[in-house]
Structure 1
Amino acid sequence: MVGAGKLIQLLFGLPYLYAVVLVGALMIIYVAFGGMKATTWVQVIKACLLLGGASFMAGAVLYKYGFNPEALFAAAVQTHPKGDAIMAPGGLVTSPIEAISLGVGLMFGTAGLPHILMRFFTVSDAQAARKSVFYATGLIGYFYILTFIIGFGGIALLMSDPAYFKLGAGGTFDKLKDMVGGTNMVAVNLANAVGGPYFLGFISAVAFATILAVVAGLTLAGASAVSHDLYASVIARGRTTERHEVNLSKISAVVIGIVAIYLGYVFENQNVAFMVGLAFSVAASCNFPVLAMSILWRGTTTWGALIGGLVGLVAAVVMVVLSDAVWVKTFGYPAALFPYANPALFSMPLAFLT
């Protein structure tokens, strides 16, 4: 939601609050009336466009440096205010424990994301599921390779051009803070630098479709969990109709959308990449232990899965809230109560143990 709001704010010049509300309203309408079929098609189309657009952008960056990655890195080091330090581990993690915890969250959280798990129920059989995972993993790995080319390209090409920064008094600007649209819009601005306004429009559309696909998938997963898993299976104990479930799912989508709009507004100034890491940590702590234990251990019971997943969820969320990112930077308290920003290394073993 933060990424979508920032993108709309940059493209149309709207206040951030209006941009987030607009995206949230579109998401609610999309999920409530389009359902699984609409969500699936937007995910398929955006994946193809995203891979194509990122490949072209990375290729265009390398073309400007004679397809010589060493020349690209040298230009980035020369341009960035921190110089050689950008070739060392970044500032997103501050200690080995933090790095391991982030890695654990990203690695195991992928298998626990609700809109990823939901896809295993849309294939014909187990063989098709394995083939789907094989191809998807390969494409994801390829995309991750492109990201560091795009990142260093953004440093080398954007930081040397004042046109991509908001100028202060005397025409000065801070390369680390004053980029047009904020630091979350580096890739979008890079599209303009390597491909002009038409490619900027294309990448902006792809970025918006990507964000819409993710939030729609998550909203759909949440709404179906409320209507089918919680209401139909637990509260009504099967004494309901499919029509009633669908209506309840639509109401749930509206409520989830409103909550997402509010959180998107509250977390406006947070780094999007950092927040993605938090989502993966929660998924690794709540869903992955249940998935792994139900497959690998015959002794897994319904109550064990329920309580273990709940403990992982509560532990991850509480640790995130008490960390520096939320407790200090969002709520304004002087010191964090939990020392690490990524909780997966601590909350996931707790869920497995439970």
Structure 2
Amino acid sequence: MTRARTFLAPAALLACTGAAWAAGGDLGETAKQATNWIAIIMFTAFVALTLWITKWAAGRTKSAADFYTAGGGITGFQNGLAIAGDYMSAASFLGISASVMATGYDGLIYSIGFLVGWPILTFLLAERLRNLGKFTFADVAGYRFAQTPFRVFAACGTLVVVAFYLIAQMVGAGQLIKLLFGLDYWIAVVLVGVLMMIYVLFGGMTATTWVQIIKACLLLAGVSFMGFMVLAKYGFSPEALFADGVRVKTRIAESGGAASDVAAKLGLSIMGPGGFIKDPISAISFGMALMFGTLGLPHILMRFFTVPDAKEARKSVFWATTWIGYFYVIIFIIGFGAITLVLSNPEMADTTKGVIKGGAGTANMAAVLVAKSVGGDVFYGFISAVAFATILAVVAGLTLSGASAVSHDLYATVFKNGKADSAAELRVSRLTTLTLGVIAVLLGIVFEKQNIAFMVSLAFAVAASANLPPLMLSVLWKDCTTKGAVIGGFLGLISSVALTVVSPAVWEATLGNPKGSAWFPYTSPALFSMTIGFVGVWLFSVLDRSAQATKERAAFPAQQVRSETGLGASKASAH
């Protein structure tokens, strides 16, 4: 195994470098522009660095605890940066800026929704997660429950959320490399899938954490420079930036044949609500998905088990909130910069239609084109490499959480009844990683034309509806039982996925059914599916009068003491 690891990094690096350099200038219709050699060099440098980190981490990954949680040796500051790196995904960087470019002020709902979940996580769950957990959120939520049924549910919920989230990252990666190198979209997606599998298979959480920390630092530096340069063009006056955005949107509307008074209203509409979410129920439901979904994301919850104690867990959330809040403010400025600098540039966009050249899906590239506008080819190459790093890091974290759900929750706890040895668990985890990588690539190809921020919002809706109700009620409510948690969780999971499939975003936009034929009319299912999940957990817990339920209720005080004091949590002992 050591020898295989030693030769892994150079081999993978050569493959990646070869693919990039072979991208050439013209690959038929899929080539969008000439090859950017600076970006290729930066891509290659980043891949080389991260593969070296993976090789270094592989030498430190000797047990399941090392693989899943980096042995619990990450500090609060480091973990805060890594969480921020996890959260500042392709959806945040590429998707939100594209959404602001398309709808103006309304695009800010993503930033606000994504951010508001953090204070709730800080005060309600962060400390309890560290004190009760070991490898996955099922360790926390199922602390006093029958393990087999709850772990089966938890694994299902985790895998569905991971699948939706992975789609967005793969689409972002595919569009980025397609735009930059002229590679076919599917080749770009496969390349990302291969690299992601290498990181997770050999480096585990240690490699994933350090890739995320490096990526977060590079991304924060990059967006700071972009925001500074966009505002510098307007004398550091946000008002002047917004006014120019209104002017550009008005001119686009006039180019489309709108009368001058109508065009003026359309231009000004980017400063008000209603451009993205058309009705109040959708707005509430969408906001709930973004806000509460944070508390149910398995790859975020898993990060609280990488720190040594609850104090460091709280510190993690403080630093993560700081970096993420700063990042989202800058992204809003970059989104408006995309309106004024990209949509008015005939080399980058169709200035009469107000869309980026290259067809559906390339709207996700608004941020990297702003980078080109303010920093030329060198900064364009840097931001493209950082965006690629962003996707790789988040995909690795997602895959790790999915692999841990199968190997730890299903294989070790359910099938082996808690008696699996560490080596066997690692083997199953790596097989799962390979499977998830293939699924991620296939789904990324199918959903090529979706806005990636919106795809992530669907993952948030599922997380809020399936994972959050049993997690929160099991920790905070003494009468929660196995039956309630499992049935309510599955009701939330099934309803959120079913309503998502029959919503306009999937039923019409992805599956190609006629406009207006969607069975569920709203943007997000969270308002309905979250309610179903919470009511289901409450109802079936109250109705459960079994002897097992009585034992579970009696066990709550001991769980509460450990969750609030940390007594007995130092070794994260199995339950």
Which TM-score band applies after superposition, normalised by the shorter structure? over 0.9
Aligned position for 2:94: none
From 114, 125, 129, the equivalent of 2:298 is: 114
Instruction: Tell me, yes or no, if structure 1 residue 352 matches structure 2 residue 352.
Output: no
Aligned position for 2:349: 165
Q: CA contact under 8 A between 2:248 and 2:339: conserved in structure 1?
A: yes
User: 1:179: Cα distance to partner?
Assistant: 5.7
Question: In structure 1, how many angstroms separate the alpha carbons of the residues matched to 2:201 and 2:475?
Answer: 33
* One-letter amino acid matched to 1:198: V
User: 1:303: Cα distance to partner?
Assistant: 3.2
Instruction: Tell me, yes or no, if structure 1 residue 343 matches structure 2 residue 533.
Output: no
Map 1:97-136 onto structure 2 (within 5 A): 97-136=281-320
Q: CA contact under 8 A between 1:286 and 1:311: conserved in structure 2?
A: yes
Can you give the 5+ residue segments of structure 1 that lack an aligned partner in the other structure?
167-171
Question: In structure 1, how many angstroms separate the alpha carbons of the residues matched to 2:318 and 2:488?
Answer: 29
From 23, 27, 34, the equivalent of 2:203 is: 34
Aligned position for 1:186: 366
Question: In structure 2, how many angstroms separate the alpha carbons of the residues matched to 1:179 and 1:330?
Answer: 19
Distance 1:173 1:20, change over 3 A: farther
Question: In structure 1, how many angstroms separate the alpha carbons of the residues matched to 2:370 and 2:180?
Answer: 14
* One-letter amino acid matched to 1:307: I
Aligned position for 1:174: 353
Q: Any idea what the Cα deviations from partners look like across 1:179-230, whole Å, max 9, x if unmatched?
A: 6871000000000000111111111111111111111111100001101101
Query: Is the radius of gyration larger for structure 1 or structure 2?
Result: 2
Instruction: Tell me, yes or no, if structure 1 residue 276 matches structure 2 residue 453.
Output: no
Q: CA contact under 8 A between 1:79 and 1:160: conserved in structure 2?
A: yes
From 162, 180, 191, the equivalent of 1:22 is: 191
**Partner secondary structure for residue 336 of structure 1:** coil
Question: In structure 1, how many angstroms separate the alpha carbons of the residues matched to 2:274 and 2:363?
Answer: 15
Q: CA contact under 8 A between 1:227 and 1:245: conserved in structure 2?
A: yes
Question: In structure 1, how many angstroms separate the alpha carbons of the residues matched to 2:214 and 2:482?
Answer: 37
Q: CA contact under 8 A between 2:343 and 2:356: conserved in structure 1?
A: no
User: 1:138: Cα distance to partner?
Assistant: 2.0
Instruction: Tell me, yes or no, if structure 1 residue 63 matches structure 2 residue 232.
Output: yes
Q: CA contact under 8 A between 1:92 and 1:274: conserved in structure 2?
A: no
User: 1:307: Cα distance to partner?
Assistant: 2.4
Question: In structure 2, how many angstroms separate the alpha carbons of the residues matched to 1:236 and 1:94?
Answer: 50
Can you give the 5+ residue segments of structure 2 that lack an aligned partner in the other structure?
1-169, 253-265, 537-575
* One-letter amino acid matched to 2:293: G
Question: In structure 1, how many angstroms separate the alpha carbons of the residues matched to 2:387 and 2:276?
Answer: 23
Question: In structure 2, how many angstroms separate the alpha carbons of the residues matched to 1:246 and 1:77?
Answer: 55
* One-letter amino acid matched to 1:143: F
Divergent runs of 4+, >3 A: none
User: 1:10: Cα distance to partner?
Assistant: 1.1
Question: In structure 1, how many angstroms separate the alpha carbons of the residues matched to 2:427 and 2:348?
Answer: 47
**Partner secondary structure for residue 163 of structure 1:** coil
Map 1:250-289 onto structure 2 (within 5 A): 250-289=430-469
Map 1:56-95 onto structure 2 (within 5 A): 56-80=225-249, 81=252, 82-95=266-279
Q: Please, which moves more after superposition, 47-56 or 61-70?
A: 47-56
Q: Any idea what the Cα deviations from partners look like across 1:105-155, whole Å, max 9, x if unmatched?
A: 111111211110001111111111111111211221111111110111110
TM, length-normalised to structure 2: 0.59
Q: CA contact under 8 A between 1:164 and 1:179: conserved in structure 2?
A: no
Question: In structure 2, how many angstroms separate the alpha carbons of the residues matched to 1:21 and 1:270?
Answer: 18
TM, length-normalised to structure 1: 0.95
**Partner secondary structure for residue 299 of structure 1:** coil
Aligned position for 1:169: none
Q: Any idea what the Cα deviations from partners look like across 1:258-286, whole Å, max 9, x if unmatched?
A: 11111111110111111111111111111
Question: In structure 1, how many angstroms separate the alpha carbons of the residues matched to 2:358 and 2:374?
Answer: 17
**Partner secondary structure for residue 162 of structure 1:** coil
Identical-residue share of aligned pairs (%): 61
**Partner secondary structure for residue 355 of structure 2:** coil
Question: In structure 2, how many angstroms separate the alpha carbons of the residues matched to 1:90 and 1:45?
Answer: 37
Question: In structure 1, how many angstroms separate the alpha carbons of the residues matched to 2:198 and 2:215?
Answer: 19
Q: CA contact under 8 A between 2:222 and 2:383: conserved in structure 1?
A: yes
* One-letter amino acid matched to 1:192: K
Aligned position for 2:174: 5
* One-letter amino acid matched to 1:215: V
Q: Please, which moves more after superposition, 60-69 or 124-133?
A: 124-133
Q: CA contact under 8 A between 2:348 and 2:356: conserved in structure 1?
A: no
Q: CA contact under 8 A between 2:297 and 2:460: conserved in structure 1?
A: yes
Instruction: Tell me, yes or no, if structure 1 residue 155 matches structure 2 residue 339.
Output: yes
Question: In structure 2, how many angstroms separate the alpha carbons of the residues matched to 1:320 and 1:36?
Answer: 31
Question: In structure 2, how many angstroms separate the alpha carbons of the residues matched to 1:207 and 1:216?
Answer: 14
Aligned position for 1:312: 492
User: 1:294: Cα distance to partner?
Assistant: 2.0
Question: In structure 1, how many angstroms separate the alpha carbons of the residues matched to 2:282 and 2:356?
Answer: 24
User: 1:56: Cα distance to partner?
Assistant: 1.1
Q: Please, which moves more after superposition, 90-99 or 73-82?
A: 90-99
